[in-house]
Copies of this chain bind each other. A is one copy, B any other.
Amino acid sequence: MVTIKDIAKAAGVSPSTVSRVISNHSRISKATTEKVKRIMEEMGYHPNLMAKSLVSKTTNALAIVLPRPAEELFQDFFFGELLRGILAHSTKAGYDMLLSAATSPNDEQETISRLVLGRRVDGVILLSARQDDPLIELLANHDFPTVLIGRTEGHDNIITVDTDNIQAAYDATLHMIKQGHTRIGFVVGEPNLTVSVDRLAGYRKAMVEAGLAINPEWIVDGEFLQQSGYRAMSFVMNIPERPTALVVIDDITAFGVLRGLNELGYQVPTDISLVSFNNIALAELASPAISSVDIGTYQLGYTASHLLVRRIQEHLTSQARNIIPHRLVVRESSIQDFHKRGN
């Protein structure tokens, strides 16, 4: 392991000078700079990042905290796309990303304390928000640079990047209403995630504004669906006044819905229309292709990293709440004509 001292000795200068050359310090003669750089090259010098961190009190690393249970999350392309956006920026900004998963809630607290209070990272990105998340509490109390993808209340030192999920669900539902549907159902997700709460609210809002009734039986449990798409859909389709359209919490769930309907012999969109959220790559490859609200997932991730780095480097808390625009991508699953035209 070649150190700064070795370089200094070989170059006939002091360690301080070598250090200054490395950090492009201004007042170093060109001659020295060149000589030192040449020798570093020759001797294969690489600065010890730990030593650097210790004295600079920065790590040039960020942590991504995966929502528990990490078991499921990767089943969703959504997180992959989010990671892609985060990494695109953080790599460019010169930050390493630490991926932190926790098995239990206690575990999670401990892991984060260790990383954050142990100064292993300079900032944290939380990938999802629960109601009254103790983790957010912890980070806010320490005023630790944090960006949450999602929303939270009552902590204005936590920067958030989010979709306007109420509006997004409103738009999706309105799309169905415009297609002439009046009996529109909603397939819910995990209830204590804010995203679930918001999307359901947007759906309700659109229905109410359009003067349409909501039959509680039209609200389908997405969790139940996972166990058996067949039975869940069988139940929905046998309600006397069954919905003719469904707004589905996310694309993966929509795949389950599609599958259940298929097994029952129903056609989408002829028998029932579908729209969902996130617009993962496969939504387009489903048969029929699934209409989905594109929430700019990559952009969410990229922006999260960007805001976090800015917060760290410039010590300025930017706007607390940042919204990434969404847009509905209409495909076969919600347009009757698509099929009839044999598209």
Give the residues in chain B near A323, CB-CB below 8 Å. none
**Is A255 part of the contact surface with B, judged by Cβ < 8 Å?**
yes
Judge whether A35 is part of the interface by a CB distance below 8 angstroms: no
Docked pose: A92 CA to B111 CA in angstroms: 11
Complex CA–CA separation, A152 to B253 (angstroms): 39
* Cα distance, A104 to B92, chains bound together (Å): 12
- Nearest opposing residue in chain B for A51, CB measure: B54
Tell me, yes or no, whether A115 is within 8 Å of chain B by CB.
yes
Contact A74 B70 (CB under 8 A): no
A285 contacts the other chain (Cβ, under 8 Å)? yes
Q: Cβ of B101 and Cβ of A87 under 8 Å apart?
A: yes
| Mask: chain A, 104-141; 1 = CB below 8 Å from B; 0 = not | 00000001011101111000000000000000000000
Interface size class of chain A, counting residues whose CB lies under 8 Å from the partner chain: 35 or more
Q: Does A77 make an interface contact (CB < 8 A)? A: yes
Interface stretch of the complex, out of A41-49, A143-151, A175-183: A41-49
Within 8 Å CB of A64, what residues of B?
99
**Is A97 positioned at the interface, with any CB of B under 8 Å from its CB?**
yes
Tell me, rounded to whole Å, the shortest Cβ–Cβ distance linking A80 to chain B.
Answer: 3
A50 within 8 A of B: yes
Interfacial chain B residues near A214, Cβ < 8 Å: none
- A290→B322 CA distance, assembly (Å): 40
Partner of A83, one of B59, B61, B74, B111: B74
A314 contacts the other chain (Cβ, under 8 Å)? Answer: no
Q: How many copies does the complex hold?
A: 2
A118-B46 contact, Cβ under 8 Å, with A54-B51, A96-B100, A98-B96? yes
Asked whether any CB of chain B lies closer than 8 Å to the CB of A75, the reply is yes
Establish whether residues A83 and B99, one from each chain, have CB atoms under 8 Å apart when the complex forms. Answer: yes
Q: CA separation between A88 and B100, bound complex, in Å?
A: 10
| Residues on B with beta carbons closer than 8 Å to the beta carbon of A97 | 98-100
Which stretch, A9-17, A197-205, A238-246, A256-264, touches the partner chain B?
A256-264
Could you tell me if A120 and B96 are in contact, using CB atoms closer than 8 angstroms? yes
Sample (15) of A-B pairs whose CB atoms are under 8 Å apart: A47-B118, A48-B54, A48-B118, A48-B119, A49-B114, A49-B119, A61-B98, A66-B87, A88-B101, A91-B100, A91-B102, A96-B115, A97-B99, A99-B99, A287-B287
Taking A46-B113, A79-B80, A99-B99 as given, write out 11 further A-B residue pairs in contact, using a Cβ cutoff of 8 Å, ordered by the A residue number: A46-B118, A50-B53, A51-B54, A74-B80, A76-B80, A77-B80, A91-B111, A96-B120, A98-B99, A256-B285, A259-B289
Chain A interface residues toward B at CB < 8 A: 1, 44, 46-51, 53-54, 59, 61, 64, 66, 70-71, 73-77, 79-81, 83-84, 87-88, 91-92, 96-103, 111, 113-115, 117-120, 229, 252, 255-256, 258-259, 262, 281-282, 284-287, 289
